[in-house]
A and B are shown apart, each in its own frame.
Chain A
Amino acid sequence: MAQNEIDDLIAEFNKADKNGVDKVIEEFSSEEIPMKEKVEEPIKDDILEAGLDEAQEKLTGVRFEEKEHKVIDKLDEINKESEDKVNKLFEKLETINEELDNTEQLIQNIKPYLEKHKEFMEFFVEHFPKTAVKNNYEYFKNIISMVDDMESRITTIRDNTFEAMDILQFQDITRQKIERVMSVIRALHEYLNNWFSSSYDSMPRARVAHTIIDEDKKEKVDQEVEDIIKQMQEKGEIQ
């Protein structure tokens, strides 16, 4: 639901004639409930054995801890936890990249020796073509080719870790989506007299994102940004 729709809904709610509602509540409160109905309600033995708290749990469904009711605090915790985990994931990816750098460096250190050995073997093959050195030379060329292949695989793994790092931007975008939900809850909170009570008022908060675009529209939006900058530059509104 867009923010303007929420605002409209809240305005509608405020405009509504609450006298009618109050009247219904009053009638409901004053209505006499026959005692017979209450007394004759069967009480199951297992509920009595389980004790009052558990009985309440069985009758009304899941019994939440007090903290669980504080939806905004809970969502804040979720955001915080997700940010922590993503940072840990990022650290792991950075460690993988460091190890890749080290491995690549080792290969770079080995390569000059391999090249020297190759030259040495080429010299033998050239001067003693009929000896077993030729076969060994072929094996050796394969080893060099495998080392090249290892280098290429390191590049592929590194590119993939970089791509994974870029994808982790989802955490910030998801966090802002949750912040938007929180802003709706906060608006409702004001109208529902602490039904969703929390300590949110004491925390400084970021302005809620108005627009979070879908990934499939990203290219179009990027082009729009470029067009706006260009237009404003042409008009001399910005440098």
Chain B
Amino acid sequence: MEYTYLTPEIINKIEEYKKEFLTKEQVIIQALHLIYSKYRDITLDHMLELSNYLEVPLSQIEGIVSFYDMFRVKRNARHHIRVCKNLPCHIMGCKKLIELFEKLTGEERNQESKNGRFYIETVECIGACSVAPAFMIDDDLYDGTKITEEKLNEILSKYT
């Protein structure tokens, strides 16, 4: 079968995982990470191809995608802003930070991106409570303790 979404790089990596792990089921979540980071979304077509390639039932893959938070969000933007809203960040003022993000990017939290640059998601604890309110942009973690509008603008300008 020809694969449209499973690129040769993804297939290579999946093959590595298949050698490393004990069963093919163990590869599913790791493979979904690869797909998600490339396409920023996991659609039925992606799941069908993966199910076909790994020879595991589609229902199992769909069950995983609907269970794990990181695969469920359909973000249609190039960059993913995750702002923690859990208790330590809440009492240290994450509400203001989220509002600041909304103001600077012109996007609304947890809503489809308007121009495809940023997606703002409010998430549970990201394990950075001493720099609360903490936030991540893509894979980078930032200290929100002394954040100002200028500083945030500067950070955002790195992500085009």
Same complex origin of A and B:
no
Chain A residues in the interface with B (C-beta under 8 A)? none
Chain B residues in the interface with A (C-beta under 8 A)? none
